[in-house]
């Protein structure tokens, strides 16, 4: 039996406001435990929450960036549950009337095709505190610094059909929120995390299967692995005659498996009701217009521009726009390269990103500056060096051995383009290899590569390849 996977994601993006969503307490990460929660965050008697306008503006930015509708009126609700890291006994969230309604985002798939993923809603809510289980013997610590930190929860339609698509969507949202500067996207610190809802159904079936929810996954790699594991588990259960129960599961990256956390029957009844301390949130057209004016160039717009202006494929462009820093780096390489956008894209994507990946570095930490890489590309374009020698120089740049032209000079890597010199070299090779020359002339065409190899070897790879080919052909015909 063939199975189809169905995935919907709930993404929590921590909004980068300076203060909390309903209080003036700081949201700074990494402070001493319990130094940044105030009476409002703790829900002490007699306090009143006041909505942070900046969080609302960020939600509007998201709506505009995700082709979504801004609700003119939305409502904050209390979601009641008991947990040690939630001293108030309820979380303020939005329920029936979220601030962001229906939107979509197009994701770029490997094969250069795009797919539209629909966004059901996005709502504003406050985060809870944190339970700390390490560093304590037989006890748990509670750090309430995170209580009241603003979150935007972005809920997708069940539109994704593979773990790969889910990761592509998650990355697209990650890129978008960072472009909009509404979330720092730091997954290690938990500022960007997701729950994956997963089900399977026989291929061709139109009804969805029963889903499970994988909680709080905080890396792209783990999302892919967790979903793949869960899909296989579900297929195994069904094929051996069992049934999937709707439940919440936890992914354990160390064991690469998912474990049941709680079933839907045990799930909380949150007894939602509108928060009597907060007025409905009303957003005017004027505010939306003002936010539109401060919107930066969006990932999708940059993608189209890169494809058009630099004649790049959708796939290459999608890599280069994946963060603003990456896009800026690329554009500055192009500027230095003497109008070589395609060669520049190749060097950034294959060489630089390859090396950065291997070293575990971000583009911002690249040992090679965009100006240096641009200069390197320009030296290939103006025939000072060959593409092959450029790789040697790339390595030298990586090891911070200096500037491109100095390295070429110091190491004597300049390409040989002097016709006389190349002719002399070829004459020597022909004289030294009479047998090969005779064989070539009697029809063994393949030997051409042998002569090219000899020339490269004797010149240390420095002969201009086009000139070499041309002159060699002529001389061998004689
Ligand atoms: P809950 O509040 O119980 O988590 P939601 O209605 O908010 O439920 O849905 C959560 C997510 O589950 C959404 O992203 C939705 O796309 C996804 N989803 C719903 N049904 C399925 C299904 N059968 N398979 C996979 N994902 C699903
Ligand atoms: Mg859910």
Q: Is 199 in the pocket of ligand 1 (CB under 6 A)?
A: yes
Q: What is the 3-state secondary structure (H, E, C) of the chain?
A: CCEEEEEEEEEEEECCCCECCCCCCECCCCCCCCCCCCHHHHCCCCCCCCCCHHHHHHHHHHHHHCCCEECCEECEEEEECCCCCCCCCEEEEECCCCCEEEEEEEEECCCCCEEEEEEEEEEEEECCCEEECCCCCCCCEEECCCCCCEEEEEEECCCECCHHHHHHHHHHHHHHHHHCCCCCCCCCCCCEEEEEEEEEEECCCCCCCCCEEEEEECCHHHHHHHHHHHHHHHHHHHHCCCCCCCEEEEEECCCCEEEEEEEHHHCCCCCCEECCCCCCEECCHHHHHHHHHCCCCCHHHHHHHHHHHHCCCHHHHHHHCCCHHHHHHHHHHHHHHCCCHHHHHHHHHHHHHHHHHHHCCCHHHCCCCHHHHHHHHHHHHCCCCCHHHHHHHHHHHHCCCCCHHHHHHHHCCCCECCHHHHHHHHHHHHHHCHHHHHHHHCCCHHHHHHHHHHHHHHHCCCECHHHHHHHHHHHHHC
pLDDT in tens, 11-36: 999 999 999 999 999 999 889 999 99
Which residues, 6+ apart, have CB-to-CB distance to 445 below 8 Å?
Answer: none
Which residues, 6+ apart, have CB-to-CB distance to 11 below 8 Å?
Answer: 153, 154, 155, 156, 170, 173, 192, 193, 194
- Ligand 1 centroid to residue 199 C-alpha, Å: 10
- CA dihedral in degrees (231, 235, 236, 242; nearest 10)? 120
Q: Show the tokens assigned to 50.
A: 């006041």
Atom index in ligand 1 nearest the CA of residue 158 equals 16
When pLDDT is cut at 50, 70 and 90, the band that residue 1 belongs to is: confident
- Ligand 2 centroid to residue 213 C-alpha, Å: 7
pLDDT in tens, 367-397: 999 999 999 999 999 888 888 889 999 999 9
| From-to residues of CATH 1.10.10.410 in the chain | 419-477
Confidence at residue 28, expressed as pLDDT on a 0 to 100 scale: 92
Q: Show the tokens assigned to 468.
A: 């070499």
Q: Show the tokens assigned to 79.
A: 């979601």
**Could you give phi then psi for residue 160, rounded to 5 degrees?**
-90, 145
Direct distance between the N- and C-terminal alpha carbons of the chain, in angstroms, rounded to an integer: 67
**Nearest bound ligand to the CA of residue 155:** 1
**Nearest bound ligand to the CA of residue 95:** 1
The pTM (predicted TM-score) of the whole model is 0.87
**Could you give phi then psi for residue 413, rounded to 5 degrees?**
-100, 5
Q: Is 10 in the pocket of ligand 1 (CB under 6 A)?
A: yes
CA angle 250, 100, 10 (to 5 degrees): 10
Q: Is 122 in the pocket of ligand 1 (CB under 6 A)?
A: no
In testing the pocket of ligand 1, which one of 4, 156, 158 has its CB within 8 Å of the most ligand atoms? 158
Would you say 467 and 417 are in contact if contact means Cβ atoms under 8 Å apart?
Answer: yes
Would you say 185 and 191 are in contact if contact means Cβ atoms under 8 Å apart?
Answer: yes
> For residue 134, is pLDDT > 90?
no
Would you say 157 and 120 are in contact if contact means Cβ atoms under 8 Å apart?
Answer: yes
pLDDT in tens, 139-197: 889 999 999 999 999 999 999 999 999 999 999 999 999 999 999 999 999 999 999 99
Distance from C-alpha of 89 to C-alpha of 85, rounded to nearest angstrom: 9
Distance from C-alpha of 356 to C-alpha of 219, rounded to nearest angstrom: 18
CA angle 263, 267, 154 (to 5 degrees): 100
Q: Is 6 in the pocket of ligand 1 (CB under 6 A)?
A: yes
Count of Cβ atoms closer than 10 Å to residue 453 Cβ: 11
Q: Is 219 exposed, middle or buried (0-12, 13-18, 19+ CB in 10 A)?
A: middle
Mean pLDDT of all residues in 453-468: 87
> For residue 344, is pLDDT > 70?
yes
> For residue 138, is pLDDT > 90?
no
Distance from C-alpha of 315 to C-alpha of 412, rounded to nearest angstrom: 37
Confidence at residue 415, expressed as pLDDT on a 0 to 100 scale: 81
pLDDT in tens, 170-182: 999 999 999 999 9
Would you say 324 and 332 are in contact if contact means Cβ atoms under 8 Å apart?
Answer: no
CATH 1.10.10.410 given to domain 419-477: yes
Residue 275 gets the label, from left (phi > 0), alpha (psi -120 to 50) or beta, of beta
**Which residue owns the Cα nearest ligand 1 atom 11?**
8
When pLDDT is cut at 50, 70 and 90, the band that residue 263 belongs to is: confident
- Ligand 2 centroid to residue 308 C-alpha, Å: 40
Q: Show the tokens assigned to 357.
A: 């990946």
Strands 247-252 and 257-263: antiparallel
Confidence at residue 232, expressed as pLDDT on a 0 to 100 scale: 97
């Amino acid at each position: 039996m063939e199975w189809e996977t169905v995935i919907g994601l709930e993404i929590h993006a921590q909004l980068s406001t300076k203060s909390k969503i309903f209080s003036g307490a700081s949201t700074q990460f990494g402070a001493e435990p319990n130094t940044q929660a105030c009476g409002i965050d703790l829900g002490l008697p007699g306090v009143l929450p006041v909505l942070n306008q900046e969080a609302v503006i960020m939600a509007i930015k998201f709506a505009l960036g995700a082709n979504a509708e801004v609700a003119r009126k939305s409502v904050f609700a209390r979601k009641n549950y008991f947990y040690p890291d939630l001293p108030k006994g309820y979380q303020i969230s939005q329920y029936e009337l979220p601030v962001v309604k229906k939107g979509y985002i197009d994701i770029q798939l490997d094969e250069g095709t795009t797919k539209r993923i629909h966004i059901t809603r996005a709502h504003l809510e406050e985060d809870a505190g944190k339970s700390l289980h390490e560093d304590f013997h037989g006890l748990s610590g509670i750090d309430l610094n995170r209580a009241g930190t603003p979150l935007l929860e972005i809920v997708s339609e069940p539109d994704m059909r593979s773990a790969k698509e889910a990761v592509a969507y998650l990355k697209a949202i990650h890129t978008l929120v960072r472009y909009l500067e509404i979330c720092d996207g730091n997954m290690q610190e938990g500022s960007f995390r997701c729950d994956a809802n997963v089900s399977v159904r026989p291929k061709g079936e139109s009804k969805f299967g029963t889903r499970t929810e994988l909680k709080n996954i905080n890396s792209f790699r783990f999302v892919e692995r967790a979903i793949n594991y869960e899909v296989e588990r579900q297929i195994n259960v069904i094929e051996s005659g069992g049934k999937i129960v709707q439940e919440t599961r936890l992914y354990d990256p160390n064991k690469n498996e998912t474990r049941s956390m709680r079933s839907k029957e045990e799930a909380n009844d949150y007894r939602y009701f509108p928060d009597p301390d907060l007025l409905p949130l009303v957003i005017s057209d004027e505010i939306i217009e003002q936010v539109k004016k401060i919107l930066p160039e969006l990932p999708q717009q940059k993608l189209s521009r890169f494809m058009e202006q630099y004649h790049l494929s959708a796939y290459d462009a999608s890599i280069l726009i994946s963060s603003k820093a990456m896009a800026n780096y690329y554009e500055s390489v192009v500027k230095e390269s003497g109008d070589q956008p395609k060669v520049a894209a190749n060097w950034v994507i294959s060489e630089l990103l390859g090396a950065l990946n291997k070293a575990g570095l971000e583009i911002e930490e690249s040992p090679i500056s965009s100006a240096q890489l641009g200069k390197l590309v320009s030296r290939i374009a103006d025939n000072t060096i060959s593409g092959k020698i450029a790789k040697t120089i790339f390595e030298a740049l990586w090891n911070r051995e200096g500037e491109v032209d100095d390295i070429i000079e110091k190491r004597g890597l300049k390409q040989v383009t002097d016709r006389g010199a190349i002719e002399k070299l070829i004459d020597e090779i022909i004289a030294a290899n009479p047998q090969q020359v005779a064989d070539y002339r009697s029809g063994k065409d393949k030997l051409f590569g042998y002569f090219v190899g000899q020339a490269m070897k004797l010149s240390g790879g420095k002969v201009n390849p086009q000139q070499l080919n041309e002159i060699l052909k002529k001389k061998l015909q004689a």
